[in-house]
Every structure is written in C-alpha cells, then in structure tokens.
Amino acid sequence: MAKVVIIGGGVAGLAAGIYARKSGYDCEIYEKHFITGGQCTGWNRGGYHIDNCVHWLTGTSPDTDIHRVWREVGVLADDIDIIRHKLFLQVRQDGKVLNVWSDLDRFADEMTAIAPEDRRQIRHFVKMLKTFSHMDMPALKPAEQMTFADKMRFLRKCWRLIPYAVRYNGVSLPDYVSRFRSSVVRAIISSYLPATFNVISIVYMYATFLSGNGAIPRGGSMALTKRMETRFRQLGGKVFTRHEAKQVGIEGNRLRSVTFADGTTVEADNFIFACDTRVTFDLLGDKYMDNFFRKRYADIDTYPVFSNFNVYLAADSRCEDLPDMLIFSCRPFSIVGRSHDRIVLKNFNYEPSFAPEGHTVLQVLMVQDAADFDRWQHLYTTDREAYRAEKARAAAAIVERIVELEPHYAGHLKVIETVSPYSFHRYCGAYKGAYMSFISTHKTERELHNGRVAGLDNVYLSGQWIQPPGGLPNALVSGRFAVQRMCKVDGTEFVSDCK
C-alpha cells in the first residue's frame, strides 16, 4: 500500500486525508498546532466558546455538488441541524436601517422604499442576485480532468452568469456603489468586504445566502472540523499534532522525507502540502515556486490579502435586539495607526452552547490589510507589552462605540478575547495573517493553480491558496482534487461516492 503524508491538518488536509484513505492509500496527517482544523477552529474562554471561522457555509443547499462533497467528508448529514437565518445582515448608516433578508423580494422592496431614487440600479442589482443564486462551483473534478460532458453539465448550470461576470469582473466595489445615490444602499453593498474586491464577490456572497446555499451547520467551526477528523480516523487514517515541519529531504525530482521540530523524520511515497503555501515554499525552497505564486507574493498591491482584528465579547443577555450580523457607522477610532469608522458585529445567540444560560458571545471583525499585519508583527516581536496594550486599547474603543449605538449595553459587555492578524500567523502559519487567499480584485483575472510542484513528481498542493479567493469550499475541493491528481499519476482508482 502506497503511503502519503499530508502536511497541515486544516479543512484541505483533512479532506485530502479522507479521500486518500478511501482510495486505498496509507495516510498520515501532520499538524503544527495541538488540534486539527487550521483557521476553522474554536476555543474556550471563561465559560464561553470562541468561534473563529464559520459565519455561513457555502454548500448547505442539497442541489449543489459541493453539498455532496461536504456530506461525504462528514461535515453535513441528516442528523446535523442547519441554521437558516431569515436575516443575513443589517446595516445602520446615517440614521437609516437596511436589512438583507433571505426573501429576495422583501430585500428588494426594503431597498426601494428606503432609496426610491435608486430604483433602477436596485432593480439591476436584484436581477444579478437572482441570476447568481443559480451558481454552483466545480467540486467533483479538477479542471484538467473534466470531460467535455462534465464541462457542458457545469455550463448548463451557470451560463446565465457569464454576461454579468464579463461585464463586472473588472469593476471595483467603490466604482459600482458610486452608481447609487443612497448612502445606506451603498453601505449594504460595500461595507462587508474590503474595497479592493470586485463587485462580483459581494454579488456571489449575497446570492449564496439568498439561494439557501449559505446556512450554518450547528456547532460551528470546531464541530465541523472534528467531524472531518472523526471521518478520517474511522477510515484508518492517523493524525499527529504538535508536529511542525522544519526540513525536507529531496533526491532528484522526488521528495523523500520531512523532518519535524521534535527531530522525527517521516518518509512516504507521496506528499500533499495542505498548509499555507508560503510555508510550503519556505520548506521546499523558492526555486520550486512557479510564476503563479511568484507574481502574487511579489506584487501584494495587485494580489492583496486581508485579515481581521477580532474582539470577542461576553454579553450577560441573549442580545435578542441585535441581528445575526450588524454593520454600523461609528465615531472614528484607530487600530495600529489606521482609522476606522465602521464596525462589523456578529451575534452568536443562535448557538446557546457557546455561552452560559441567558448569555451570548458577540464577535467584532475589523478588516486588516498587509500593512496592518506588518505593524502588529513589529509590535509583537519588539515590544510584547505594547502589543498587548494596543489590543486592549482597540477593544475598549470598540466597546465604547457599541455602547454609543446601544446605550443599554453599558456595563453588560466584557472583553474575553482579542485576536490580531499576527495571531493567525503564529498559530496557523497564515501568510500576512490572511483568512482567505489572494483577493479577487477588479485588476485580476480568476486563475487556479494546477496543484503540482514543478520539479517534484510526488508532491501535490491543496488548500485555499491554490484556488483564489479561497475560503472553506475551495479548501475542501482542493483536498479532493489533490488526491484525484495523485491517483491519476499513480494509476490508482480514485474512490468517491460523488461522481
């Protein structure tokens, strides 16, 4: 039985491990952290559960291929409750409130009532959302293994999207929202994602929710990855945590071994690197980096990445007056020197197990770019006390703004955790602390990596970095695709219930 070693135990690594075992490989996963999951994780603080990742999961609609793959790896099942919110997002701007309802007609009517002067643009925006609600991502085969029939099947699902994709892929969010006169409508379209995203990104995100394909599996991020780890172990796979890869042994055009921080060395017939690709090429050497990655790492302005500064709050009530997700404008404040005047607030009251009875967890997400990451890194590495003080100061400023919005929360919110972009780098090896891959901007064309490392015949890549803009669905299918590529090279049957 051929042996495959997987470096990285996040969603991509676990998916690769599951399909490697199903296809008959002896398989071991090595993870640097003490738990699997990567950034799709959670932890406990003072009786509360901190959920780091899942705000919605693309693939909760049974009509999609990605849904079938999530079921096969154990994430979705008939006995797993799916939480479907009627309200996805609320924006409060200039004294007005606008809601993104799961009912698209209700959403459209509310936008038009608030901004009748934008009626024509709203009608066009809603038409785009309806069209993109039919979107399904390729999840069963990598592009190079798709037959003509496979491509025609996908095209039949998505042909209506093509004119919009061609027209708007090169349009930035600021350019698009400038067509609207209402500040609150502009905010509902542009406030959730960084301004460098193209407009198709927000259309796809909203359409995913509105189509029912972006709901939340009960239990959140940690429960999701634990189900995947359980499936992998049930198939006979082995997981080794606290194993950070430090060195590789290469002979000719084959990788022979990986050595870990504790001095242990493992050999295998094949290797799948499911960790951050910057970590991968630090191990293998930049001479193995192809132009796909070389141009992206060299030009962060054209291929930006983003992270978050997250603040978690314990509320001594159920916060029933707050929506699932709230974005509101506020008095300006700074985080590592950059000014912010808007806050994204996530309410986890739909997960009662995350907090003591009658309480809930709130999460604040503040977008951070590569320059912010560099400032956090500098603070952490040069003055640890100043690093902690900046986190505490920013968290206090955020709580002040929430109380200014909702005065009755004064004295009822407690900061229980702060997470900087550098935290994601320290614990997960995330490049610039990024929570997704290289962003789809109005300057870039969508391009996928072939999942191979030129010059190393037995090395495969998986993870969100090879399928920009990343996220959990791309991490999942990249793990599946890595094993499909490996099986093809080895002449081994790829085994899956999803064909």
| Domain boundaries of the chain, sorted by first residue | 3-38+220-301+442-490, 102-211, 306-433
Going across the sheet that includes 360-369, the strands are: 96-101, 87-93, 325-335, 338-347, 360-369, 306-315, 413-419
Task: Please identify which residue in the block is written with the tokens 């994780």.
Answer: 41
What is the band of 184 on the pLDDT scale with cuts at 50, 70, 90?
very high
Segment 387-446, tens digit of pLDDT: 999 999 999 999 999 999 999 999 999 999 999 999 999 999 999 999 999 988 887 777
Confidence (pLDDT) at 136 = 84
93 in Cβ contact with 184 (< 8 Å) = yes
Q: How far apart are CA 315 and CA 354, in angstroms?
A: 12
Q: Which of 124-133, 150-159, 249-258, 389-398 has the lowest mean pLDDT?
A: 150-159
Determine contact, residues 67/76, Cβ cutoff 8 Å: yes
Q: Tell which residue, 221, 240, 236, 211, has the closest CA to residue 104.
A: 211
The answer to whether residues 77 and 70 touch, using CB atoms and an 8 Å cutoff, is: no
What residues contact residue 191 under an 8 Å CB cut-off, 6+ apart?
A: 91, 93, 327, 342, 344
Structure tokens at 298: 């060299």
Strands 238-240 vs 26-30: parallel, antiparallel or unpaired:
parallel
* 79 φ/ψ angles, rounded to the nearest 5 degrees: -95, 10
Q: Which distant-in-sequence residues (6+ apart) come within 8 Å of 130 by Cβ?
A: 104, 207
pLDDT at 1: 86
The pLDDT value given to residue 194 = 84
Q: What pLDDT shows up at residue 195?
A: 83
Q: Which residues, in sequence order, are bridge partners of residue 218? A: none
Class of domain 3-38+220-301+442-490: alpha beta
Residue 91: phi, psi to the nearest 5? Answer: -115, 130
Cα-only R_g, the chain: 22
Chain center to CA of 170? 22
DSSP single-letter state for residue 276 = -
Hey, how many other C-beta atoms are within 10 angstroms of the C-beta on 396? 12
Could you give the percent of the chain with pLDDT greater than 90? 86
Cis peptide before 407 (omega within 30 of 0): no
Helices (H), 330-462: 370-382, 384-405, 421-428
Averaged over 441-464, what is the pLDDT?
91
The whole-model pTM stands at 0.96
